[in-house]
């Protein structure tokens, strides 16, 4: 069974084709700059030379057509016929309260997804567009939706409700949804597998630290709390997003700086976090690390705020689960920043966390257990693989229908 995974963004389409017999990756690629000058396709067939094509890509339909052409190409393609693709799995950011798992996309599902646009106005529209285009170009192939929010639908009411008038939850479904669910689920499962333990008996904290970051408490295989909430802004400081702030700041700043709603939103989502705290050094962790090493205080204070936030969340979620067995670091920063892992873990010995610096130092982008054998909590670095998780869910739905 071959599964195509599509992650359709506003100006890009990422794709992977898996052979589910052994979960091997046959090809992956990226369509970039859709609708912008300089659009291109980068196609990477496994074990062969990559293929790059610069071509006008005015819309998503043209983008998906190019992906299909690349997969079928005589020279750099990986399949002979389009019918070899059993199903397409789509990453969809918001599944609201309706979807606690992946689903076969039907007309009804499409209607519901359209309703969720107001919950994820930046992400859901291009996700939906990707599904529509695939339905048009591959009309006989089942399309499956895999939601970033689904894994967090197990979060109990006391953790998903905010202290606002309850009527806003009833009227607008304002609550904690959480994101990066596919990644948290994958790394939690993989950590249990690596440790040879039953996930149902584990208390795990997964730290997905990338441009966007979230921490999740996974108890007995289920998400019970996560740091992102209604929008994609709460929790830790991120590349350009502010993380947790006192809501009182918002009207205060709006008044002081005469900001309208859009300007305020722009500050919270695009001008804060690493970028804002460092006064413009960068939204990229690599730059901050480099500058901090060179003695730049603005970079160092930004990292200090991030490290402290991480420690607070790990402490809070350990309390929420009444214990901790496994701590996992993943995504761009989690996988590639040994100093962050070291700094955060060395102050958590109270919880029984001890990492082996020889295993941690220099470890980038590779799966490893980095705790000492006597550490009460196992600490792991697990490269995230959301695409494989989407392919697995897609295959499972096809097998069961
Ligand atoms: P996204 O949320 O866009 O998927 P990623 O998971 O790719 O983001 O993470 C991007 C972040 O990972 C950036 O802050 C980047 O600096 C950081 N990162 C990537 N490689 C490294 C590295 N070698 N060292 C430190 N940070 C890294």
334: Cβ below 6 Å to ligand 1?
no
The helix (run of H) or strand (run of E) holding residue 389 is: helix 386-400
Sheet with 40-45, strands from edge to edge, namely 51-54, 40-45, 24-32, 13-19, 2-8, 85-92, 143-147, 103-104
Structural contact between residues 401 and 103, judged by C-beta atoms closer than 8 angstroms: no
What pLDDT was estimated at residue 122? Answer: 84
Residue 112 phi/psi, 5-degree rounding, is -65, -40
Candidates 30, 33, 9, 28; CA nearest to 129 is: 9
Domain ranges (residues) in the chain: 2-147, 196-386
Per-residue pLDDT at 347 exceeds 90: no
For residue 191, name the pLDDT band (cuts at 50, 70, 90). very high
- Average the pLDDT over 304-314 and give the result: 97
For residue 299, name the pLDDT band (cuts at 50, 70, 90). very high
For residue 121, name the pLDDT band (cuts at 50, 70, 90). confident
333: Cβ below 6 Å to ligand 1?
yes
CATH class of residue range 2-147: alpha beta
Encoded tokens for 129: 């567009």
Q: Whose CA is nearest to atom 3 of ligand 1?
A: 211
How many A from CA of 192 to the centre of ligand 1?
24
What is the maximum alpha-carbon separation in the chain? 63
* Beta-sheet pairing, 213-219 with 378-381: unpaired
- Average the pLDDT over 39-62 and give the result: 96
List Cα–Cα distances, 375 to 327, 336, 354, in angstroms. 11, 22, 5
Report DSSP letters for 81-118, one per residue. -GGGEEEEEEEES--TTT-SS-EE--HHHHHHHHHGGG
Per-residue pLDDT at 301 exceeds 90: yes
What pLDDT was estimated at residue 23? Answer: 97
Under DSSP, is residue 333 helix (H, G, I), strand (E, B) or coil? helix
Which is higher by pLDDT, 10 or 206? 206
Mutating to test ligand 1, I would choose from 123, 210, 292, 341 the residue with most ligand atoms within 8 A of its C-beta, which is 210
User: Does the predicted model carry a pTM greater than 0.85?
Assistant: yes
Q: Whose CA is nearest to atom 19 of ligand 1?
A: 332
Atom of ligand 1 nearest to the CA of 283: 14
For residue 101, name the pLDDT band (cuts at 50, 70, 90). very high
- Average the pLDDT over 140-163 and give the result: 98
The helix (run of H) or strand (run of E) holding residue 346 is: helix 338-346
For residue 327, name the pLDDT band (cuts at 50, 70, 90). very high
Mutating to test ligand 1, I would choose from 148, 187, 285, 302 the residue with most ligand atoms within 8 A of its C-beta, which is 285
For residue 167, name the pLDDT band (cuts at 50, 70, 90). very high
What is the C-alpha separation between 203 and 377, in angstroms, rounded?
Answer: 10
Atom of ligand 1 nearest to the CA of 288: 16
CATH (residue range 196-386): 3.30.420.40
Instruction: Note the pLDDT tens digit of each residue in 249-279.
Output: 999 999 999 999 999 999 999 999 999 999 9
Per-residue pLDDT at 201 exceeds 90: yes
Active site residues: 148
Q: Across all residues in the chain, what is the average pLDDT? A: 96
Q: Do domains 2-147 and 196-386 have the same CATH topology?
A: yes
Candidates 87, 106, 189, 82; CA nearest to 397 is: 87
Cβ-in-10-Å burial (0-12, 13-18, 19+) of 133 comes to buried
């Amino acid at each position: 069974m071959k599964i195509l995974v599509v992650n359709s963004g506003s100006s890009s389409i990422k794709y992977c084709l898996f052979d589910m017999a052994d979960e091997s990756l046959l090809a992956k690629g990226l369509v970039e700059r859709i609708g912008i000058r300089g659009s291109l396709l980068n196609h990477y067939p496994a074990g062969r030379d990559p293929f790059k094509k610069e071509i006008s890509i005015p819309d998503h339909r043209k983008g998906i057509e190019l992906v299909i052409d690349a997969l079928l190409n005589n020279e750099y393609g990986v399949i002979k016929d389009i019918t070899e693709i059993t199903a397409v799995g789509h990453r969809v950011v918001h599944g609201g309260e309706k979807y606690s798992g992946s689903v076969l996309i039907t007309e009804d599902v499409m209607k519901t997804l359209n309703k969720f646009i107001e919950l994820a106005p930046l992400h859901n529209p291009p996700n939906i567009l990707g599904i529509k285009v695939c339905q048009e170009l591959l009309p006989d192939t089942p399309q499956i939706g895999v939601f970033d929010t689904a894994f967090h639908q197990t979060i109990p009411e006391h953790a998903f409700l905010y202290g606002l008038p309850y009527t806003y939850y009833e009227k607008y479904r304002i609550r904690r949804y959480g994101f990066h669910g596919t990644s948290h689920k994958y790394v939690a499962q993989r950590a249990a597998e690596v440790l040879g333990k039953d996930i149902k008996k584990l208390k795990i904290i997964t730290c997905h630290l990338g441009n966007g970051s979230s921490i999740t408490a996974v108890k007995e295989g289920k998400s019970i709390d996560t740091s992102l909430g209604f929008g994609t802004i709460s929790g830790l400081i991120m590349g350009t997003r502010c993380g947790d702030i006192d809501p009182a700041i918002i009207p205060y700043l709006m008044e002081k700086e005469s900001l309208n709603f859009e300007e305020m939103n722009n500050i919270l989502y695009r001008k804060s976090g690493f970028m804002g705290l460092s006064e413009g050094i960068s939204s990229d962790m690599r730059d901050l690390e480099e500058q901090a090493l060179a003695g730049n205080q603005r970079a160092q204070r930004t990292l200090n705020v991030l490290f402290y936030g991480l420690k607070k969340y790990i402490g809070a979620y350990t309390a929420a689960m009444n214990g901790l067995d496994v701590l996992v670091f993943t995504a761009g920063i989690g996988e590639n920043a040994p100093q962050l892992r070291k700094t955060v873990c060395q102050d958590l010995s109270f919880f029984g966390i001890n990492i082996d610096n020889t295993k941690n130092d220099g470890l980038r982008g590779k799966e490893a257990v980095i705790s000492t054998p006597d550490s009460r909590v196992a600490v792991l670095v697990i490269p995230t693989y959301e695409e494989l998780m989407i392919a697995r869910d897609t295959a499972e739905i096809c097998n069961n229908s």
